[in-house]
A = this chain, B = another copy of it.
Amino acid sequence: MAYRIGELAKLTKLSEHTLRFYEKEGLLVPKRNDSNIRVYSEDDRLWADFIVHMKGTGMSLEDLKKYKVLRESESENYEELVAILVHHKDNVEAKIAEYQHNLELMNKKIDMYRQYINGNDEKDLYQRFVEGKNTKNE
């Protein structure tokens, strides 16, 4: 299977602009056909998907470029590749933990507001509770 830029754009939900931008950046460089049209291979598509996933969890294009270099080198740098992945995984896990913590805070706050809406009148106490008095850890 091979794709032209418009097709790949649809598949990856990246814009054509972005795809050309990635090419300029050396991150995703398709072959060209006789008419100089970009032809993305199946491999390119998978790599594009990978990019989308990784940047979706906060990996920078710079890091993706580094990863790409390693991945394409003949020197079998699998340990390095794994190290990058593990490092990023750790970051993502930390992010998840932080998000979950903040989710709890939000849920508490929401509950408090709802209680208040349902007639609790102790506004001062309420405000203190909701906006932080017992959410102060760290």
Contact = CB atoms under 8 A, between A and B. Distances in A.
A4 interface: no
Interface in A31-55: 31, 42-43, 45-47, 49-50, 53-54
A71 interface: yes
Residues of A contacting B: mostly: helix
**A89, A98, A135 — most chain B CB neighbours (10 Å):** A89
Nearest to A44: B132
Contact of A132 (B47, B82, B103): B47
B81 A92 contact: no
Given A56-B102, A102-B54, A110 B131 contact: no
Interface in A1-55: 31, 42-43, 45-47, 49-50, 53-54
Interface residues of A, number: 47
B135 A49 contact: yes
A118 B85 CA distance: 17
Contacts of A100: 96
A46 B114 CA distance: 20
Interface in A59-107: 71, 78-79, 81-82, 85-86, 88-89, 92-93, 95-96, 98-100, 102-103, 105-107
